[in-house]
Chains A and B, each alone.
Chain A
Amino acid sequence: MILQVENVSKAFGGLQALLNLTFDLPEGQILG
């Protein structure tokens, strides 16, 4: 895998922008 995103969350104060995001991106793939 060239990129692995594991349970990523991001909050700005009380605003939850990302919540438990998980995905893998194999090398050579276009993901969109």
Chain B
Amino acid sequence: MIGPNGAGKTTLFNVINGVYPPSKGKVIFRGEDVTGFKPYHLAHKGLARTHQIVKPLNELTVRENVMVGACFGRRAASLAEARSTADQVLDFLGLIDRADNLAGTLNVAQKKRLEMARALASHPYLLLLDEVLAGLNSSEIDMMVDSVRKIREQGPLFS
């Protein structure tokens, strides 16, 4: 989606993701009318999103943040499963060396990757990325774009 500030890009994501119900119209996800479903319900169904303004759980570690995505995602993972998924996702996104650090200690680029990691750990069928490249330098953008392409090309990446 391309548009100037205030065009409604994030509002559209919020309507698809169930943050706001639409005033009219329908959102159909994998053949099911999910209009107005709550975000946690859609996460269980396999619809994940990232946020333009990243807000990790700063008092939890990076790994624990990603485990939240796994526990409340499509597979409703146990803690052990969530830990395994989190480590696979963090390795894929180049954050595994920060897994035991508090999320609040990450820089902006790392927080963007953490945001994507938390969404990926929910095993989504559809991943909505809101301004995922904003604030990144050229090498960080290349890394993120490469990650998105790998996700698309390889399909489900994590057990």
Residues of A at under 8 Å CB distance from B?
1-11, 17-18, 20-21, 25, 27-32
Contact = CB atoms under 8 A, between A and B. Distances in A.
A18 B11 contact: yes
Interface residues of B, number: 23
A5 B23 contact: no
B59 to A, nearest CB: 32
6 nearest A-B residue pairs (beta carbon)? A8-B25, A4-B28, A7-B25, A6-B26, A17-B11, A17-B8
15 contacts: A3-B16, A3-B27, A3-B29, A6-B26, A6-B28, A7-B24, A8-B12, A9-B25, A10-B15, A10-B23, A17-B8, A18-B11, A30-B149, A32-B1, A32-B2
A9 B30 CA distance: 21
A5 B27 contact: yes
